[in-house]
Every structure is written in C-alpha cells, then in structure tokens.
Structure 1
Amino acid sequence: MDKNRQILIGSPIRQSCDILVNFISFLKNIVKKNLSINYFFIDDNDDVNSSNLLKNFSLESNDKVIIEKGDKIDNYIRTDNMHYWKENLIWKIAEYKNRIIDYTKKNHYDYLFLIDSDIMVHPKTLLSLINSNKDIISEIFWTRWQKDSGELPQVWVCDEYSFVNKERNEILSQDEFNKKYTDFIEKLKKPGVYEVGGLGACTLISKEAIEKGVNFNKIYNLSFWGEDRHFCIRAAALGLKLYVDTTYPAYHIYRKDNLEKIEEFKNKCICDINKSLYIDNFTRNFLKNFYSYDYNNINKFDVNKYLCSAYADKFNKDKNNIIKYILEKKLICNINILDINTDKININENKINIICKFQLENKSITEDSTKIFICNLQLNNQTMLIENINFTNNDNKPLFGYNILDLLEERIRINKDKKNKITLAMLIRNESGKFLERVLTHAAKYVDNVVILDDASEDNSVEICKKVFENMALTLVQNKKHGFNNEVILRKQLWEITASTNPDWILFLDADEIFEDRICKVIRELINQPNFDYYAFRLYDMWDENHYREDFYWKSHKYYRPFLIRYQPNFNYNWQEKPLHCGRIPENIFSLPGCICYVKLKHLGWSTKELRQSKYIRYLKADPEGKYGILEQYKSILDENPRLIKWE
C-alpha cells in the first residue's frame, strides 16, 4: 500500500451517550499504518453529553477533527425492538452525508470512510478495506433488524433488500430460490471480498468514485426506501461496482441490549491483534513440519507440539495413510509458503479459526507440480493447540485424496427430505364467533396433525376444533384456569405438548391467521428438503377483509417472521421470558438454517372495530408503560383514519 494515504472518516451523529462513547473508543484504536486520518462529524445530537464527547475527542486527538452543527430537528424513535425512520429524517441524513462527500472532494482526500455512529469497527478494518483496491466497499455487519428475527447483513444482491439474484422475468422454484438465498448468506460468513448490489453504514469510498459523482441525493423516480439504496443505484449507473469485505465483521449496537456484548467484541479485537504474530509463526511452523517430507527419509512429526491430545490420536490413525501415500508415490515435498493470511482469522471466546493459503512443490519420478492449497485450522483459544484441520485445493477437493476426520462431534441434525408431515400448533381462548372455524377449515387442507391448547375457553371453541378435525389426528389439551396474563408460559406449554407428539414440521398459527390459498401448492415442496429448518413469512395486519394497514407503527408485512419450523429434538431451544409479546416459538430458532417464503399470511385479528377496541383495552391494561411493546402503537390502534392498502 502506498504511504501516507489521506483518509477522511465521516459520520452524521445523533446518538445516545452510552453508544457514542464506544464508537469513539473504537475510532481511537483504528490501525493507522501508512495512513493520515482526519475526522468530519456533523453533530445532530439532542443530548449535550453526546456533543461534549465529540468536543473532547477533538481536543484529545492528534488528528484533525472537524465538527459542524446539524439541524437538530425531527423526532427519531428508537425502541428495544427496532428503529423508526421518517421520510424527511432519511433525506436530512442524506444531505449530511453529501456535505461530508463535498468536503472530501474539495480537500482532495484519497478515501472517505463513511460510518454510522452505532457501528463498532475492528482496528484492522480500514486497512483491510483500502487493501481491497475497490472504489466502493463496505465492511460487513450482522443485525437483528427486529428483536425476534435472525441476523441479516447490511448488504444485499439486488432491488431494495433481496438476497436472491435472478434474470428479468425469470421464475424460480422454491428449491432454486432456497439455494440462491442460502448460498449468498453462507458466502458472507466466510472471510473474503465479494461483489454485491447494495451496501451501507460502514463504507469506504475512493477519490475516483467521488469524482465520478456518487452521492446520496434522492432519485426522483425511485420509490426504494433509504438513502443508501439511492446511493448504490446511482453508483451502479455511473459504472461503479459495489463490494463487501467480510474479513473483520463490525459490531452493530442496534438496540440497547447489544451493549451487553460490546466488551466481548472489544476483547475479541484485542485478542486478534495480540495473537496475530503468534498465530502467524505457529501456522508457518506447523505447515512446514507437517508438509515437508522426502520419501527416502520421512521426517518425524511431533503431533503433541501442535495438536490437542484427542485430535492427535485421531490424526495418528490417518498419519499411516499419509506415510503410505508418500512412499507409494515416491514424493518429495518442500513447502513454499506463499501466504499465511492472518487477516482471515476469527477469534471468539473458545476457538480461533484460521484460513491460510500455501504452496507445495511436489516432485515425483513422473511429474513436477506447484499448486496452491487452502488450510483451515481451528485452535483452542486457551491451549493454542489445533483441534481441527481441513486441507483442500482451490477446487475444494480433499488434498491427497483424503480429509482428516473432524474431531468435534456435532449433535445429529434431522434433515429428512421425504414424507415429512406437518403438525399445526395453536393456542386458543374464546374464539367462537370470530375466525376459528374459517382458519381451521383452511389449515385442514394442508396439515397432517393438529395440536390445540385451549386456555380455559368459556364458549364452544373446543367443540369447533373437534368438529373440523374429526377425521384427523388431534391432540387437544384444556387448561382449567386461564393463564393469558403470562403468555410465555402458555407458549412453552404448547411447545412441549407439540414436541411430545414427535412432529416432523410444526406450523404455528394463531386463531385469527390464515394463509393465501397457494400455500396448499407449495407446502410439500417447502418441507421435503434437507437444507432448511424454518421458513419465515410476511404477516399482513388486515383492517378489514380487503385492506391491510401500513404506516409508521404498522408495517409488520415488511418483515419476515418464522411460522413453519422443522422440529430438531437434539437442539437446545431457548425462550424469550416475557409475559407479553414473547414470540410463539423459541428465540434462538435463527441459529438453525432457514429461508423466506413469499406466500402471504393474513392477520384478521384487527379487521373489525370491535376487535380493535378489545385489543386496545387489553394491551393498555397488560402493558400500561409500553414495557414489552410500543405504547404509541397501542394508542394508534383506534386511529379513525389509518392508511389502508388494498389486499392484492
């Protein structure tokens, strides 16, 4: 890398003090090798303590720090669940970012590093991004955009936020869609640089890109939400490609409870920096000893010096095969290490994962060859001994025709891909006269088994269930005393009852939720596959039979939530212990592989004035301070003129 690159780090800042202090701390620790760094902050804080943090940073820093005042208007709402961005606030932030771009251009910086103030970056991030030699590249971070959703990246393939690329007018089967979706997500979990269609929040922009005219102005004939979409589309139109670097994932403090793991991320960064040199030498020595041999005099390899005892035993069983192969082929191998890339290293509390490339010079009687191989090492973070090794070539084929057996024994995952059955699991209470019979009759068309937990209904809800499922396997449990004042207890009870029936797949529906008819056509394709353990769907809050609500507080249909899951008996499920809005399934379901499905789900529970009035009273009584939900949303239930969109 050229010396003395001029870098401007820019950020519009409206941030709480406890998050901002961490943001500044991570900025101070950025590795500045051969870099000259200045800072440009737009102070839009409504907290004087946050403004003071920026001033103190400016006074203490040896680098130039520019602080300009923002407008300090608009009410930005952040809850424990998600952030709420109003349209005018988005374009105010866009104007701030453009102001930073203009400053970068006028002062001839080589790069602008635009970063949101709730993103904590690894000390090596900036160097890694610059070394990629890309005009526009973001470091990846993963976020639960909703508290009860899985982690997703801030980069995407195309359109507004799609992870699946397809040709115009191309129709994908569910299997094809699933594969493309999974391939993209799994690729981003591996260290590397990848081309993407959209990015933001932690982005390096080159002088060349800025001179071509990239900016965050609104594209007038584009309805996509968010200034980053407009930036990315404009960049593509200017002939610039977008990339993501996954080498040093950043940490996103999206909600307050993310602060709980900030120390863990800090320690990881410190550990990474301190151990890099040791790991480099360790890996070089291991590879040199392991792969330097001559068939006339095979070197002894001291496994105990590098491998943990349990793995050494397994390795020694393979060692005989290695020696046999070397003798049969009369191989002479002198290792030439081209690259031990400790940039591609992931350190957590227990394990160190390293990916390194090296070159072997294989000489035999019949051929001489030079090839590049990839070594995946897993070290124990405490003993610094290898617990797992995997060697492959560039084609991902096992080296020398074998792979060393994995030491770690994974718990068995059920992945039956044929003849799976669906069990409907539903919690009910006093649903007669509402939607129960309609919902159950529709579900009976595509489910195989049914589990109903009745929470002490005082009407004929139970009789309706028995009538609809008279010709189907039905497990029905009736509580003598209702317990809906503590929802998580009921949800866990339903789960345990359903699990006791040894289900293949479980569909969790409430008594006022009904799928589109096309669920009947795709459901078997969804469940009879080995790759995914849950499917997430969009839920539409219907305000009448033909319209759903969409406004500031009512946009559940813009997100995907899991309703259909494969039961894994060997997985340790955990629940969100809340008496209200706890979720109908375990909160760690997103640790399993999953996918989205485009079949829509109607939520009819808001579709009459009487139902809305009833829920309004119930939520304000159960959660008067908005501890478990959003108080403003409760109050908006009775809005007289909500924005309604026709159901298509």
Structure 2
Amino acid sequence: MTPLSNSKQKLSALIITYNEMGYIERCIDSISFADEIIVVDSFSTDGTYEYLKKLPNVKVIQNPFENFTAQKSFTLKQATNDWILFVDADEVVNNKLENEIIETINSPKACEAYWFYRKFMFQNKPLNFSGWQTDKNHRLFRKSKARFTDKKIVHETLEVDGTSCILKEKLTHYCYKDYNDYKGKMLRYGQLKAKEAFYKEKKFNYFSMIAKPLWKFFNHYFLRLGFLDGKRGIIISYLNALGVLERSKELKRLEKKNKLAYYLVMP
C-alpha cells in the first residue's frame, strides 16, 4: 500500500449511501489510501450511518435523497481536494488500481477525468457477460474541471471541461448480493428513469411497455452473451428487463396523477 500523504496531489474519496451494510465495509477499506473520505448517507435504517460514524478516517453527513444527480452534486461540494475519486458503496479499489490512481494524479500529463471499466461480481463470483463487459464510468476527475449534469436524475453523467482518458485496471463492482436486493435496485432505478422521462414530457404507450422490456432481455441475454453466464445471466437479464417494465408502469402512474391533479384544479 502506497501512502498518498507522501504524494504531491491530494485525493478526496466520495461515496453516497443508503442501507449499504454488507457492501460499505470493504469499500471503505479499499479507499483508505485517500487523504479524506466523505460519505453522504440518505438516512439509512440498517446501521450504515452508525457504522460510518465510528470510523475515525471517515466524515459522514446525512442528507435527504432527492435523486442520484442531486445527491452526488451535494457530496462533491463537500470535498476539500481537487482530485476526486467517486465510488459506489458496492465498489472496491484493488491494490493495482490504487497504485494506478496515485501514479495518474501525480503525473504531469494527467487528463482532467478518467473512465474506469468495471469487473462485475455476482455473489462474489465474476459476471463476465450479460451486457456489462463494456460498461465504464467516470470515477476519477478534477473537481475544478467537472460537474454532474442536471439533465439526468439516475445514471448520473459527468460533464468534463477537458480530456477524459481510461485507466487500465478495473474497478470491482459487487452488483448482486441477493435476488431481492438487486430486484429492489432495478425497481428504484426504473421509477427514477420514469420521473426523468416525465420531466422531459415523454409519453407512456402500451407498445413500449411490452416491447422495451422484451428487447432489454433479448439484448442482454443473447446479443450481449448473457447465456454464457448460465443461470446468473438469466437472472440479471430478467431483472434488468423488469426495471424497464417498471419505468413504463411508473410513467403511466405519473401521467394519471398529473391528469387527476389538472382536473381537480379546473374551474
């Protein structure tokens, strides 16, 4: 382990949490090389906040959850250093990636932001296909050169003023703890995506409600080789499709609620 305190550039590691016990412990351990660790918790009920409060190297703040973009933007404002490592509570930085991060931010040729490819873990076993093999996210960037766009409220997007590069080592992502956990995650994402679509004045239709989930499953299981992951590929492809179905159902509910509110205020 290389202590970052001896390097020229300082790093702030940021996380947002809600009910992350079982994930957050190894995540925090893996980013202990950072100069500061800041966690913004949206009032967890499983002991996550209490656990984090006991850690001397972690600053934890509670903030109500509006959406992912708003929460991450709030968290970013808490950082005192320019270099930011933003990880999810179910992600882990291995030793090789740690060394690459330290070398990268201290390089005179460093880019303004870096994409990370991710290695997906399904109940502690690698998930090699099922649509995730090309997944990458911005995780390392200069605070002064980046911001989260307000155009998306889920699958938040970083806008970078400058060049984005890609790190060689992968971030380990423990995407699947158990069936109910992943199902709940997909349903929440679907509901937030529906709100995003509603704000953009996209309309619900029954064809999309049927066709898009079927396409999602077909794409992940067949075209993105989910069948090579065996039973795990079926589960992941099905739950991802379920999230798309929930998006349509939630959009329909929002439109119905909006129409009802309109008629109630009509003279």
- Shorter-chain TM range is 0.5 to 0.7
Structure 1 portions without partners, runs of 5+:
1-417
Contact 2:73-2:148 within 8 A present in 1 as well: no
| Residues 153, 193 of structure 2: 8 Å contact kept | no
| Alignment partner, residue 613 of structure 1 | 183
Report deviation, 1:459: 2.6
Give the equivalent residue in structure 1 for 2:91: 513
Of the three residues 476, 481, 495, the one matched with 2:60 is 476
- 1:643 corresponds to which of 212, 228, 253: 228
Q: Check the 8 A contact 2:19/2:46 in 1, yes or no.
A: yes
Q: Is the 8 A contact 1:547 1:644 kept in 2?
A: no
Which stretches in structure 2 are left out of the alignment for 5+ residues?
1-6, 199-207, 233-267
Task: Evaluate the alpha carbon distance shift between residue 623 and residue 572 of structure 1 in structure 2; reply closer, same or farther with a 3 A threshold.
Answer: closer
Cα 1:634–1:541 shift into 2, 3 Å: farther
Are positions 1:447 and 2:34 aligned together?
yes
Tell me the equivalent position of 1:603. 173
Question: How far, CA to CA, are the matches of 2:108 and 2:99 in structure 1?
Answer: 19
Distance across 1 between alignment mates of 2:174 and 2:118:
10
> Identity across aligned pairs (percent)?
23
After superposition, the C-alpha distances for 1:45-76 in whole angstroms (9 at most, x for unaligned) are: xxxxxxxxxxxxxxxxxxxxxxxxxxxxxxxx
Paired position in structure 1 for 2:159: 588
Amino acid at match of 1:511: A
Please give the residue correspondences for 1:46-57 in structure 2 after superposition, counting only pairs within 5 Å. Answer: none
Cα deviations by residue, 1:189-232 (Å, 9 ceiling, x for unpaired): xxxxxxxxxxxxxxxxxxxxxxxxxxxxxxxxxxxxxxxxxxxx
Query: Is the alpha carbon distance of 1:575 and 1:619 closer, same or farther for their aligned partners in structure 2, counting shifts above 3 Å?
Result: closer
1:623 positional shift: 3.6
Q: Which digits, 9 at most, give the CA deviation of each residue in 1:576-623, with x for residues without a partner? A: 42222223xxx321x313321111112112243232222233234444
Cα pair 1:439 1:514 within 8 Å, conserved: yes
Structure 2 CA distance for partners of 1:633 and 1:520, relative to 1, 3 Å: farther
Letter in 1 for 2:92: I
Alignment of 1:73-88 (within 5 A): none
SS in 2 for 1:579: coil
Amino acid across the alignment from 2:53: K
Q: Which secondary structure does the structure 2 equivalent of 1:457 belong to?
A: coil
**Structure having the larger proportion of residues in helix:** 2
In structure 2, C-alpha distance between the alignment counterparts of 1:635 and 1:618, rounded to whole Å: 17
Cα distance in structure 2, aligned partners of 1:464 and 1:633: 41
Match of 2:113 among 528, 534, 540: 534
Q: Distance in 1 between matches of 2:151 and 2:24?
A: 27
Displacement of 1:464 in angstroms is 2.0
Change (3 A) 1:634 1:490: farther
Greater per-residue strand proportion: 1
* Alignment coverage as a number of residue pairs: 207
The answer to whether the 8 Å contact 2:153/2:196 transfers is no
CA 1:534–1:623 in 2, change beyond 3 Å: closer, same or farther?
closer
Pairs within 5 Å for 1:104-183: none
Q: Cα gap change, 1:562/1:592 in structure 2, threshold over 3 Å: closer, same or farther?
A: same
Deviation sequence 1:348-389 (CA, Å, 0-9, x none):
xxxxxxxxxxxxxxxxxxxxxxxxxxxxxxxxxxxxxxxxxx
